[in-house]
């Protein structure tokens, strides 16, 4: 049911934790399953230099968090904002249909972190 890659990210997730002096923080939750995800980003010259996550959720949500943080690191804000739930699912070699909402959570939390950063760094 789950790909080997997904299982590998679930059992050995990357970028777990928080960034105390984060430049942007995004939170997303799913009211149906009750799972929640928080993503912290550190930004330098419009590039995501560091990213960490805290996820209270299912195994797929944890694997999604791990994968999306790996995908976002080193990308420009614009590139990271464009990552879709399908991109994350593809990078994990697919998700079962009933688990696609888990990857939505990751893409949305990352976008919220970027929006949080942008709202704090509006150019005058």
Among 3, 30, 54, 118, binds ligand FES (CB under 6 A): 30
Of 35 and 108, which CB lies nearer to ligand FES in the complex structure? 35
C-alpha 49/C-alpha 87 separation (Å) is 20
104: tokens are 């939505």
User: Is 102 noted as a catalytic residue in this protein?
Assistant: yes
- Provide the minimum distance between the beta carbon of 33 and ligand FES in the complex, in angstroms, as a whole number: 3
Q: Does 58 bind ligand FES (CB under 6 A)?
A: yes
Across the beta sheet with 36-44, what order do the strands follow?
24-29, 36-44, 47-56
Number of H helices, E strands in the chain: 5, 3
Of 77 and 102, which CB lies nearer to ligand FES in the complex structure? 102
C-alpha 73/C-alpha 59 separation (Å) is 22
User: Is 33 noted as a catalytic residue in this protein?
Assistant: yes
Of 30 and 54, which CB lies nearer to ligand FES in the complex structure? 30
**3-state SS of 32-71?**
CCCCEEEEEEEEECCEEEEEEEEEECCHHHHHHHHHHHHH
Among 43, 68, 80, 105, binds ligand FES (CB under 6 A): 105
- Provide the minimum distance between the beta carbon of 5 and ligand FES in the complex, in angstroms, as a whole number: 17
List active site positions: 33, 102
Give the footprint of ligand FES on this chain (CB under 6 A).
30, 33, 35, 57-58, 60-61, 101-102, 105
């Amino acid at each position: 049911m789950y790909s080997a890659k997904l299982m590998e990210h679930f059992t050995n997730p990357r970028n777990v934790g928080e960034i105390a002096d984060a430049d942007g923080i995004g939170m997303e939750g799913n009211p149906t399953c009750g799972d929640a995800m928080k993503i912290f980003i550190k930004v330098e010259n419009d590039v995501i230099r560091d990213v960490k996550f805290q996820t209270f959720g299912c195994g797929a949500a944890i694997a999604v968090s791990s994968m999306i943080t790996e995908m976002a690191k080193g990308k420009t804000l614009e590139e990271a904002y464009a990552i879709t739930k399908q991109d994350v699912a593809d990078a994990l070699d697919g998700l079962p249909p009933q688990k696609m909402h888990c990857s939505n959570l990751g893409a949305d939390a990352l976008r919220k972190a970027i929006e949080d950063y942008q709202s704090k760094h509006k150019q005058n």
